């Protein structure tokens, strides 16, 4: 049997879900096969699931019992951290980081943009050139999504990062780089 070429679809789907989770070990041969099939891309230390990988998972198809078990076991809420830290912005408004959800596989950061000088126009995500997350022990985090909405003067936003802080981490550091050149750095203490 040629290693990596004769895995069942179920084995490959399990491995792909584990890569999406970011916390479970995956056999290198499974990872290599997923890369070969175009389901994963990026560095081996932090591979990302591609559109082909999502299609292979059949995100709209019913999940079999084994995949359901992996999903349910791997996605556990560890902490919800109320933050309530704000920074003034150059346009007279404020950025308020409201909370952080720490899951077993990802971190979700939520904040509110309040504008008092001029109404917020267009998509709220256009206000930020980059949003990044680090912690005090160097854990890699990769932004994988987010969104937001609101009114012309107030918008609530969230962003998701694959990765989760280890027990040895004591703080997260969020950097919001705005398109107007103003950056905001937030320190978030971990429980």
CATH number at 93 reads 2.60.40.1640
Do residue 39 and residue 53 come from a single domain? yes
Per-residue model confidence as pLDDT tens digits over 169-180: 999 999 987 766
User: d(Cα 122, Cα 182) in Å, to the nearest integer?
Assistant: 19
Question: Which of 50, 74, 98 is the endpoint of a domain?
Answer: 74
Do residue 52 and residue 121 come from a single domain? no
Do residue 142 and residue 182 come from a single domain? yes
Do residue 148 and residue 108 come from a single domain? yes
Do residue 63 and residue 87 come from a single domain? no
What total of structural domains would you count in the chain? 2
Do residue 163 and residue 91 come from a single domain? yes
User: d(Cα 191, Cα 168) in Å, to the nearest integer?
Assistant: 11
User: d(Cα 24, Cα 79) in Å, to the nearest integer?
Assistant: 19
Per-residue model confidence as pLDDT tens digits over 57-114: 765 555 566 666 666 666 789 999 999 999 887 777 888 999 999 998 889 999 998 8
Domain extent at residue 44: 9-74
Do residue 60 and residue 151 come from a single domain? no
User: d(Cα 191, Cα 182) in Å, to the nearest integer?
Assistant: 29
């Amino acid at each position: 049997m040629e290693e990596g070429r004769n895995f069942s679809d179920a084995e490959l789907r399990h491995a792909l879900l584990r890569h999406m989770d970011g916390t479970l070990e995956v056999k290198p041969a499974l990872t290599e096969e997923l890369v070969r099939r175009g389901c994963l891309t990026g560095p081996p230390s932090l591979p990302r699931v591609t559109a082909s990988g999502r299609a292979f998972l059949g995100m709209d198809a019913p999940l079999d019992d084994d995949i359901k078990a992996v999903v349910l076991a791997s996605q556990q809420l560890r902490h919800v951290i109320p933050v309530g830290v704000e920074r003034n912005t150059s346009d007279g408004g404020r950025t308020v980081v409201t909370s952080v959800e720490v899951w077993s596989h990802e971190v979700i950061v939520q904040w509110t943009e309040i504008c008092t000088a001029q109404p917020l126009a267009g998509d709220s995500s256009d206000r930020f050139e980059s949003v990044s997350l680090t912690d005090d022990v160097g854990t890699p985090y990769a932004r994988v999504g987010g969104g937001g909405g609101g009114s012309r003067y107030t918008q609530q936003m969230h962003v998701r990062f694959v990765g989760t802080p280890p027990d040895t981490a004591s703080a997260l550091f969020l950097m919001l780089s705005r398109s107007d050149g103003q950056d905001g750095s937030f320190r978030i203490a971990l429980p």
